[in-house]
């Protein structure tokens, strides 16, 4: 017998969706590679290979169709997000282990594609930063670009992890300086004196953030994501950082600094928008995005980790089901009755 | 002519594929070798057959009589001989059989005596009855008996009458051609509906990809001298859904729980208006309809087809390509593959699409839902299809209803956009049919339970009544005894033992009042007995299942205790209420 109606289908598929997400990441990746060198491309390859191996193994074990699920591209998206959130010169096994953990535990042990309650890439980040805090905090010093061979050697552990890697992200550096200074340090002075911060939020990192913004807007234009989550994320991050910045500009960095540093843009457009682990109703998406932005700020400014996006997203993943339940939109013809209908 | 249009949320834009079949005018399909006319061709009661094998029938002769108010008559599509009244497979996805009248045409196509009338001379009731007798039903696909929609609500004023010429499904062009070629009769039919319902406005909605039809309708409206508004609505599937068209033209949203008339709107299809006019003004019952034959064929075209024509014979007129492997009845969004090619054309058949894998490539395998929300964005009823899918799959039907599954119109937009290729509508149909089945089962069980409970209640009541009677009798006796004792005590003889004298004396002293009190106590006792019996019915005890003798003995003991003043400790509480 034939498949039921509709007989006409839109030309779309999960792999098309995932491929477009990967394409949307390209501007950010390009800026990243320009900033820190081709090491990031190596990490993307390592993470992708680890993801494919882990995915294949898990599909085998569960006797799920290999070709269908391997070609859906979801594992690659997870892998790329891991590679882009980990330090670019992190040892290969750290990236691989994070990816395997994401695919095996965060994705397949929860039922595979579409079933994971938590964003797998963010689970990998959280696990690794808790387990290997030092390695996860080693970012290349600004302005230093090792030749490709040296970068690969560092990643593969064939060369010593040189001092050049002891740098912190601008976000981390700012926090540490402010904390150590205990009030004696001043944001304006830090920005003026240290080369690492560049014009807004970290030399070169603004361009990476800008790349993610461009890719994110493209996804919005292609209707892969809606505006709700990114806008709410950015708005809440700007609101809280702006409020504290106005309150004490010497101790709190500007909204622009927070928007363009760390994982803010990647988080707003590519991570918090993950439909599987996020909210799905329009109002739910607004709450999810706003909550993630707020938590990201609190964690990155007042918490002990260099950035807060991963934990913020995971915490909001926890809340997503109940937010969705409580924000069901009124349906056609029930908009007046809708309020009393679901109380 | 500029009017403010409204939008409905969601909707999709599948390729329309309409141009193929509009190139040529409507043609009459030739008489088929055999006509199989199902009796049940509308929503509501199944018409009773009024002919039998061997009967000669004329074109338009009644063969199935409407069964009840929501039911429409069925007629012989041509003159000939009834060869059988038998079960035959239906153009329905279930592939089930239903009773059909099989007619062998005599080739003369000879009409009954038609009786055209001027409907203005008839009462509204007479018009409705004529429409029912002529088998006029909604030809947009729902086949609801039209006369049943032509009574204005007594409480809500009819504001707008919406006439549906949107024809939003891809491939289908029969309404388009009807409006192009027979616009005047459509407009006159609309006039009948207007006169019966008395709406303030009549709005004819036509998707803007049919400018010729809209133009023809405008000209006809003018020629007939009506004030109907012909409105071009944006082409967006499913703009031709009744609820969507009502929304677009009036801004009103009709939920599943309401009828459109509750909101002062009624909606008819253009083809229905046409058949209504033919039925009233020409005395012709519905024996044929326009059918678009398209898809994997050489010559797509619209035909005027007799009801009962086997689909495979009809499809040959358009010369199907050799790789045709099935027939879709209806459009590609909501239609279905007929169970076998020989099923008959019915009043609901607006389109036949020759199916082939080239035309409709087989679907990729179903993937898990990634909750992307595309379906929710496409849903014209603003539902959350992925949530309903989740609960349908889990057979958690209560939850599907919380997510308003019965507001789903099965338009297919969600399945159309799903990147995981999940046949969402199928899941919803499954859930709906399961819910209906359970509802039926539950109703049956409820009735059985009700009968059982009533029986139990009756038995309890009889028991309690008996106990009360006995208690009353015992109490009366006790009162009599007490009165006698009091009388004796008053007389002063028979010096009672000290203990006895002190105990009953205070109770017995004010004799008349006391007897009354004793009776009251007995009544209270009986009431408590009833309550206890009810409690016991709920909680089995060792005093259950007593023989009548034991029961009576126990009751006597109880009543003796009452009369002796050994009332249970609840009594003081009861006394308060006195």
Which three-class secondary structure string do you get for chain A?
CCCCCCCCCCCCCHHHHHHHHHHHHHHHHHHHHHHHCCHHHHHHHHHHHHHHHHHHHHHHHHCCCHHHHHCCCHHHHHHHHHHHHCCCCCCHHHHHHHHHHHHHHHHHHHCCCCCCCCCHHHHHHHHHHHHCCCHHHCECCCCCCCCHHHHHHHHHCCCCCCHHHHECCHHHHHHHHHHHHCCCCCHHHHHHHCHHHCCCCCCCHHHHHHHHHHHHHHHHHCCCCCCHHHHHHHHHHHHHHHHHHHHCCCCCCCHHHHHHCCCHHHHHHHHCCCCCCCCCCHHHHHHHHHHHHHHHHHHHHHCCCCCCHHHHHHHHHHHHHHHHHHCCCCCCCCCCCHHHHCC
Residue B545 has pLDDT above 70, yes or no: no
Interface of B with A in 284-343 (CB under 8 A): 326, 328, 330, 332-337
**Which tens digit of pLDDT belongs to each residue from A209-265?**
999 999 999 999 999 999 999 999 999 999 999 999 999 888 888 898 899 888 899
Shared domain check, B327 and B201: yes
Structural domain includes residue B424? yes
Q: Which of A3, A275, A332 sits opposite B423 (nearest CB)?
A: A3
Shared domain check, B286 and B165: yes
Peptide bond into B236 cis (omega under 30): no
Residues of B in contact with A332 (CB under 8 A): 8-9, 243, 247, 253, 255, 380-383, 407
Runs of H (alpha helix) within B397-423 = 397-402, 413-417
Residues of A in contact with B8 (CB under 8 A): 332
B408 token code pair:
């789903």
**Which tens digit of pLDDT belongs to each residue from B476-531?**
888 888 888 877 777 665 444 444 444 444 444 456 666 677 777 777 787 777 77
CA distance B324 to chain A (A): 13
Please tell me the predicted confidence (pLDDT) of residue B159.
Answer: 93
Runs of H (alpha helix) within B233-384 = 242-250, 270-281, 311-316, 374-378
Please tell me the predicted confidence (pLDDT) of residue B392.
Answer: 94
Average pLDDT of chain A?
Answer: 87
Q: Which of B15, B353, B423 sits opposite A4 (nearest CB)?
A: B423
Q: Which of B328, B368, B387 sits opposite A7 (nearest CB)?
A: B328
Q: Which of A1, A4, A115 sits opposite B368 (nearest CB)?
A: A115
CA distance B250 to chain A (A): 13
Shared domain check, B381 and B332: no
Interface of A with B in 127-156 (CB under 8 A): none
CA–CA–CA angle B105, B107, B110 (5° rounding): 90
Shared domain check, B377 and B271: no
Does A3 touch chain B if contact means CB atoms closer than 8 Å? yes
Q: End of a domain among B481, B503, B527?
A: B481
Please tell me the predicted confidence (pLDDT) of residue A191.
Answer: 66
Q: Flag the least confident range among A152-161, B376-385, B405-414, B554-563.
A: B554-563
Count of the separate structural domains present in chain B: 2
Cβ neighbours for B26, distance < 8 A, ≥ 6 positions apart: B177, B178, B181, B290, B302, B303, B304
Structural domain includes residue B390? yes
**Which tens digit of pLDDT belongs to each residue from A45-84?**
999 999 999 999 999 999 999 988 999 999 999 999 999 9
**Which tens digit of pLDDT belongs to each residue from B113-168?**
999 999 999 999 999 999 999 999 999 888 999 999 998 888 889 999 999 999 99
H-run or E-run covering B536: helix B511-538
CA distance B253 to chain A (A): 4
Shared domain check, B263 and B149: yes
* Closest Cα in chain B to A225: B372
- Inter-chain contact A333–B254, Cβ cutoff 8 Å? yes
Shared domain check, B157 and B123: yes
Residues of B in contact with A65 (CB under 8 A): 365
Does A247 touch chain B if contact means CB atoms closer than 8 Å? no
- Inter-chain contact B368–A328, Cβ cutoff 8 Å? no
* Closest Cα in chain B to A274: B372
Does B360 touch chain A if contact means CB atoms closer than 8 Å? yes
Domain that holds residue B171: 19-30+118-355
**Which tens digit of pLDDT belongs to each residue from B274-330?**
999 999 999 999 999 999 999 999 999 999 999 999 999 999 999 999 999 999 999
Residue A338 has pLDDT above 50, yes or no: no
- Inter-chain contact B370–A114, Cβ cutoff 8 Å? yes
Interface of B with A in 13-32 (CB under 8 A): 14-15
Structural domain includes residue B335? yes
- Inter-chain contact A6–B326, Cβ cutoff 8 Å? no
Does A272 touch chain B if contact means CB atoms closer than 8 Å? no
Q: Which of A68, A276, A333 sits opposite B371 (nearest CB)?
A: A276
Question: What CATH number is associated with residue B275?
Answer: 3.40.50.11540
Q: End of a domain among B481, B506, B532?
A: B481
Phi, psi for residue B65 in degrees, rounded to 5? -95, 135
Structural domain includes residue B93? no
Structural domain includes residue B549? no
- Inter-chain contact B419–A13, Cβ cutoff 8 Å? yes
CA dist B333 and A9 (Å) reads 9
**Which tens digit of pLDDT belongs to each residue from B50-77?**
999 999 999 999 999 998 889 999 999 9
Does A8 touch chain B if contact means CB atoms closer than 8 Å? yes
**Which tens digit of pLDDT belongs to each residue from B387-431?**
999 999 999 999 999 999 999 999 999 999 999 999 999 999 999
A127-152 burial, b for 16+ CB within 10 Å, e for fewer?
A: bbbeebeebbbbbbbbeebbeeebbb
- Inter-chain contact A226–B373, Cβ cutoff 8 Å? yes
Closest by Cα among B405, B348, B398 to B381: B405
CA distance B408 to chain A (A): 10
CA dist B361 and B207 (Å) reads 27
- Inter-chain contact A331–B369, Cβ cutoff 8 Å? no
Q: How many residues does chain B have?
A: 578
Interface of A with B in 167-206 (CB under 8 A): none
* Closest Cα in chain A to B246: A333
Shared domain check, B389 and B343: no
Shared domain check, B413 and B336: no
Residues of B in contact with A3 (CB under 8 A): 362-363, 423
CA distance B13 to chain A (A): 9
Does B355 touch chain A if contact means CB atoms closer than 8 Å? yes
Q: Are A266 and A84 in contact (CB under 8 A)?
A: yes
Shared domain check, B342 and B382: no
Please tell me the predicted confidence (pLDDT) of residue A142.
Answer: 60
Residues of A in contact with B421 (CB under 8 A): 9, 13
B169 token code pair:
């499904």
Q: End of a domain among B330, B355, B380?
A: B355
Residues of A in contact with B425 (CB under 8 A): 4-6
Shared domain check, B266 and B294: yes
Over residues B268-272, mean pLDDT: 96
Please tell me the predicted confidence (pLDDT) of residue A337.
Answer: 54
Shared domain check, B241 and B144: yes
Shared domain check, B408 and B340: no
- Inter-chain contact A8–B416, Cβ cutoff 8 Å? yes
Please tell me the predicted confidence (pLDDT) of residue A181.
Answer: 62
Structural domain includes residue B409? yes
Q: Is B288 helix (H, G, I), strand (E, B) or coil?
A: strand
Residues of B in contact with A275 (CB under 8 A): 370-373
């Amino acid at each position: 017998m034939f498949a039921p109606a509709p007989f006409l289908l839109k030309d779309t598929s999960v792999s098309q969706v995932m491929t477009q997400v990967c394409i949307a990441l390209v501007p950010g990746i390009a800026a990243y590679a320009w900033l820190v060198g081709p090491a990031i491309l190596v990490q993307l390859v390592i993470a992708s290979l680890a993801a494919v191996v882990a995915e294949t193994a898990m599909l085998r074990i569960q006797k799920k169709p290999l070709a269908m699920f391997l070609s859906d591209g979801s594992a690659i998206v997870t892998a790329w997000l891991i590679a882009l959130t980990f330090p670019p010169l992190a040892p290969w096994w750290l990236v691989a282990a994070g990816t395997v953990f994401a695919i095996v535990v965060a994705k397949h042990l929860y039922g595979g594609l579409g079933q994971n309650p938590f964003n797998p890439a963010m689970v990998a980040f959280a696990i690794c930063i808790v387990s290997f805090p030092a390695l996860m905090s080693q970012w290349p010093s600004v302005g230093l670009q090792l030749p490709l061979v040296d970068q690969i050697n560092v990643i593969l552990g064939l060369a010593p992890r040189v001092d050049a890697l002891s740098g912190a992200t601008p976000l981390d550096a700012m926090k540490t300086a402010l904390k150590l200074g205990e009030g004696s340090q001043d944001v304006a002075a830090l920005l003026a004196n240290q080369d690492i911060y560049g014009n807004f939020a970290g030399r070169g990192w603004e361009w990476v953030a800008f790349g993610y913004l461009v890719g994110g807007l493209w996804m919005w234009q292609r209707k892969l994501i809606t505006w709700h989550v990114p806008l709410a994320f950015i708005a809440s991050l700007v609101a809280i950082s702006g409020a504290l910045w106005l309150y004490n500009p010497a101790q709190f960095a500007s909204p622009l600094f927070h928007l363009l540093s760390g994982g803010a843009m990647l988080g707003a457009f590519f991570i918090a928008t993950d439909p599987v682990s996020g909210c799905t109703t329009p109002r739910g998406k607004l709450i999810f995005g706003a909550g993630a932005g707020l938590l990201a700020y609190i964690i990155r400014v007042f918490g002990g980790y260099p950035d807060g996006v991963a934990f913020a997203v995971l915490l909001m993943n926890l809340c997503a089901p109940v937010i969705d339940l409580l924000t069901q939109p009124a349906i056609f013809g029930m908009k007046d009755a809708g309020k009393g209908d679901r109380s | 002519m500029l009017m403010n249009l409204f939008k409905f949320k969601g909707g999709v834009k599948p390729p329309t594929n309409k141009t193929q079949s509009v190139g040529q005018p409507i043609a009459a399909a030739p008489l088929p070798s055999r006509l199989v006319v199902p009796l049940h061709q509308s929503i509501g009661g199944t018409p009773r057959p009024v002919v039998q094998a061997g009967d000669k029938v004329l074109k338009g002769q009644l063969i199935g009589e409407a069964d009840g108010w929501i039911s429409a008559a069925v007629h012989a599509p041509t003159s000939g001989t009834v060869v059988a009244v038998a079960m035959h497979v239906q153009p329905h996805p279930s592939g089930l059989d239903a009773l059909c009248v099989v007619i062998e045409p005599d080739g003369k196509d000879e009409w009954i005596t038609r009786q055209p009338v001027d409907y203005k001379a008839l009462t509204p009731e007479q018009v409705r009855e004529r429409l029912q007798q002529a088998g006029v039903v909604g030809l947009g696909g729902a086949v609801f008996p039209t006369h049943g929609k032509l009574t204005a609500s007594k409480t809500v004023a009819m504001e707008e009458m919406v006439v549906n010429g949107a024809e939003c499904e891809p491939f289908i062009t029969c309404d388009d051609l009807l409006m192009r070629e027979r616009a005047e009769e459509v407009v006159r039919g609309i006039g009948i509906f207007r006169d019966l319902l008395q709406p303030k406005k009549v709005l004819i909605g036509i998707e803007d990809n049919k400018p010729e039809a809209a133009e023809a309708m405008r000209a006809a409206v003018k020629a007939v001298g009506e004030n109907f508004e012909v409105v071009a609505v944006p082409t967006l599937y499913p703009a031709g859904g009744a609820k969507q068209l009502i929304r677009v033209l009036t801004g009103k949203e009709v939920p599943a729980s309401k009828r459109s008339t509750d909101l002062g709107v009624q909606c008819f299809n253009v083809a229905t208006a046409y058949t209504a006019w033919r039925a009233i003004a020409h005395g012709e019952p519905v024996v044929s309809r326009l059918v678009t034959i398209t898809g994997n064929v050489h010559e797509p075209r619209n035909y005027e087809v007799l009801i009962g024509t086997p689909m495979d014979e009809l499809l040959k007129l358009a010369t199907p390509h050799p790789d045709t492997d099935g027939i879709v009845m209806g459009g590609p969004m909501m239609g279905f593959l007929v169970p076998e090619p020989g099923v008959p054309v019915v009043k609901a058949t607006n389109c036949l699409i020759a199916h082939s894998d080239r035309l409709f490539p087989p679907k990729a395998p179903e993937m898990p839902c990634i909750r992307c929300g595309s379906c929710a964005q496409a849903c014209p009823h603003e539902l959350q299809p992925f949530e309903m899918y989740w609960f349908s799959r889990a057979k958690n039907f209560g939850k599907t209803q919380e997510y308003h599954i019965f507001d789903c119109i099965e338009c297919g937009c969600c399945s159309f956009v799903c990147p995981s290729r999940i046949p969402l509508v199928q899941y919803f149909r499954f859930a709906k049919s399961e819910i209906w089945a359970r509802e039926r089962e539950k109703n049956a069980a409820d009735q059985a339970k009700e009968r059982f409970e009533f029986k139990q209640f009756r038995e309890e009541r009889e028991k309690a009544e008996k106990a009360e009677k006995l208690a009353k009798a015992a109490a009366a006796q006790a009162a009599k005894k007490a009165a006698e004792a009091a009388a004796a005590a008053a007389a002063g003889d028979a010096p009672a033992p000290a203990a006895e004298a002190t105990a009953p004396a205070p109770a017995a002293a004010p004799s008349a009042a006391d007897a009354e009190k004793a009776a009251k106590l007995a009544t209270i006792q009986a009431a408590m007995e009833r309550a206890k019996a009810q409690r016991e019915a709920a909680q089995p005890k060792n005093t259950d299942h007593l023989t009548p003798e034991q029961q009576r003995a126990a009751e006597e003991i109880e009543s003796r205790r009452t009369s002796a003043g050994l009332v249970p400790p609840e009594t003081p509480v009861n006394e308060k209420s006195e």
